[in-house]
């Protein structure tokens, strides 16, 4: 996960330097900087989309089985609706830990321990967190 | 004896009493749980499973009941039941004149030292009369039990637990019910008690009370009539656990516990489910 942040930061840094250089040489306008920002957004959007696949696929997360997401078809209601997730889970790692093994916070929960029982890989958990935080 | 010793002794005996299973207290506690959860529903309605708590699904189910898919199984079962064995004897020689005996099963057989389900009893009868045992889950055995269940309609489940060995079998079944298993880490009670009535996608979880009143069942997903232990296996597979053998000690004890929980409820099998 950290690596992704690093690469995003590097990308921003590179873009920033490039923009400064180009501005300095008077060869660029503000539009080029916007393109660099877009590529960062595009990267995150791709991860969110992959995460959505993990979330919805029955043999992966199958999360709709219990959680409602706005616009989803036939969601379950055994778990809480997933909305305002960034406000509810400001700490990204805490959310990942919750999906990894929810019984640590609530021993009686019915939610499966997705990481502990190897239902999802670490990478799948990461993109899943990206998606859930987008809700 | 000093006072302190007496108190210690009293406390110790209370602790021993509290760890011993008391099936009747368990059953009443389970009934109280569902009555609190669904205060407007008569507990007797729970013989209809999830249709007791979901009016929309109930409508669809009642429509299915107009021409129930299990009827053929009852007819086939009746014919099989009344066909004499090669030695001239028949099932009536084992079960008596009335084939409606399902309310007594599963029973604890003290001589054999284990739980005997209706299916085990049918196969025991066959073996005693020189016939081969039938496969447990579907086919002729399920048809014969469908006929016997039909003949038992209206009777109240009357399971007896009256020996230390029987209590141990019940205890084992109860432990299975409350133990998490499989990759999904589910316990039976997780869906059917804590989260009873909740939606899992389009399916509503059914109450434990009444789970055993209506078997065998024609299940839409199966497209045939099958016995309850077929459903146990399916449930275990759904939580990604390794299923146990049909009529294994584990499943017989589970069925014993589960059926006792519905003691006193009316039998209405065979049933149809989605």
**Structural domains of chain A in order of their starting residue, each with its CATH number:** 2-133 (1.10.760.10)
Handedness of CA B173, B179, B185, B190 (dihedral sign): positive
DSSP string, B148-166: HHHHTTTPBP-----SHHH
pLDDT at A16: 47
Closest Cβ opposite residue B183 in set A65, A76, A119: A119
- Cβ of A90 under 8 Å from any chain B Cβ? no
Residues B71-151, CATH architecture: Orthogonal Bundle (1.10)
Mean pLDDT (chain B) is 93
Q: How far is A8 from chain B (nearest CA, A)?
A: 35
Q: How confident is the model at residue A3 (pLDDT cuts 50, 70, 90)?
A: very low
Question: How do residues B25-47 score in pLDDT, each as one tens digit?
Answer: 999 999 999 999 999 999 999 99
* Alpha-carbon distance A61 to nearest alpha carbon in chain B (angstroms): 11
Arithmetic mean of pLDDT, A13-35: 48
Measuring CA to CA, how many Å separate B189 from each of A43, A44, B208? 43, 40, 8
Every domain range in chain B assigned CATH 1.10.760.10: 21-67+161-273, 71-151
pLDDT at position B10 is 53
Q: Is B12 on the interface with A (CB under 8 A)?
A: no
Q: Note whether B198 contacts A: Cβ–Cβ < 8 A.
A: yes
Cβ distance of B195 and A113 shorter than 8 Å: no
Range B21-67+161-273 has CATH code 1.10.760.10: yes
Interface with A, mutate which of B178, B181, B184 (most A CBs under 10 A) = B184
- The larger pLDDT score, comparing residue B248 to residue A73, is at B248
Give me the mean pLDDT over the A66-85 stretch. Answer: 93
Average pLDDT over residues B250-260: 98
| pLDDT tens digits along B72-126 | 999 999 999 999 999 999 999 999 999 999 999 999 999 999 999 999 999 999 9
Confidence tier at B9 by pLDDT (50, 70, 90) = low
List Cα–Cα distances, B257 to A5, A70, B23, B179, B249, in angstroms.
54, 41, 8, 14, 12
Instruction: Return the pLDDT at B3.
Output: 52
Side-chain-side CA neighbours of A126 within 13 Å: the count stands at 11
Confidence band, pLDDT 50/70/90 cuts, at residue A23: very low
Residue B83 distance to chain A (closest CA, Å)? 47
Best mutation target, A61, A78, A81, to test chain B (most B CBs within 10 A): A78
Query: Is some CB atom of chain B closer than 8 A to the CB atom of A31?
Result: no
Q: What is the pLDDT confidence band of residue A10, given thresholds at 50, 70 and 90?
A: very low
Q: Which residue of chain A has the CA closest to B183?
A: A117
Q: Is B235 a catalytic residue?
A: yes
Chain B residues whose beta carbon lies within 8 Å of the beta carbon of residue A74: 201-202
Task: Kindly report the pTM of this predicted structure.
Answer: 0.85
């Amino acid at each position: 996960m950290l690596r992704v942040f690093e690469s995003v930061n590097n990308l921003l840094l590179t873009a920033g330097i490039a923009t400064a250089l180009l501005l300095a040489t008077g060869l660029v306008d503000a539009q080029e900087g916007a393109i660099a920002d877009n590529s960062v957004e595009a990267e995150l959007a791709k991860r969110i989309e992959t995460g959505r696949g993990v979330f919805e696929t029955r043999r992966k997360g199958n999360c709709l089985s219990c959680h409602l997401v706005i616009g989803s078809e036939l969601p379950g209601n055994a778990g809480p609706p997933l909305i305002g997730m960034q406000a509810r889970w400001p700490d990204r790692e805490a959310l990942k830990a919750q999906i990894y093994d929810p019984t640590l916070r609530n021993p009686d929960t019915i939610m499966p321990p997705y990481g502990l029982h190897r239902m999802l890989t670490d990478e799948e958990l990461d993109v899943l967190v990206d998606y859930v935080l987008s809700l | 004896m000093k006072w302190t010793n007496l108190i210690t002794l009293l406390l110790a005996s209370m602790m021993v009493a509290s760890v011993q299973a008391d099936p009747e207290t368990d059953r009443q506690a389970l009934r109280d749980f569902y009555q609190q959860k669904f205060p407007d529903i008569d507990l007797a309605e729970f013989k209809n499973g999830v249709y007791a708590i979901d009016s929309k699904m109930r409508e669809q189910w009642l429509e299915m009941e107009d021409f129930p898919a299990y009827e053929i199984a009852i007819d086939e079962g009746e014919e099989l039941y009344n066909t004499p064995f090669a030695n001239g004897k028949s099932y009536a020689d084992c079960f008596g004149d009335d084939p409606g005996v399902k309310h007594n099963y599963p029973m604890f057989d003290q001589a054999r030292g284990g739980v005997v389900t209706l299916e085990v009893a049918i196969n025991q009868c066959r073996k005693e009369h020189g016939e081969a045992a039938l496969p447990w889950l579907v086919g002729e055995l399920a048809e014969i039990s469908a006929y016997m269940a039909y003949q038992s309609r209206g009777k109240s489940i009357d399971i007896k637990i009256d020996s230390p060995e029987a209590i141990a079998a019940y205890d084992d079944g109860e432990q299975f019910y409350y133990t998490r298993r499989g990759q999904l880490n589910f316990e039976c009670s997780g869906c059917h008690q804590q989260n009873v009535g909740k939606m899992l996608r389009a399916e509503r979880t059914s109450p434990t009370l009444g789970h055993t009143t209506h078997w065998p069942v024609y299940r839409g997903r199966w497209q045939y009539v099958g016995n309850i232990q077929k459903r146990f296996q399916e449930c275990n597979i759904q939580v990604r656990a390794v299923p146990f053998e049909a009529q294994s000690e584990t499943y017989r004890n589970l069925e014993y516990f589960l059926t006792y929980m519905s003691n006193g409820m009316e039998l209405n099998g065979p049933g149809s489910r989605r």
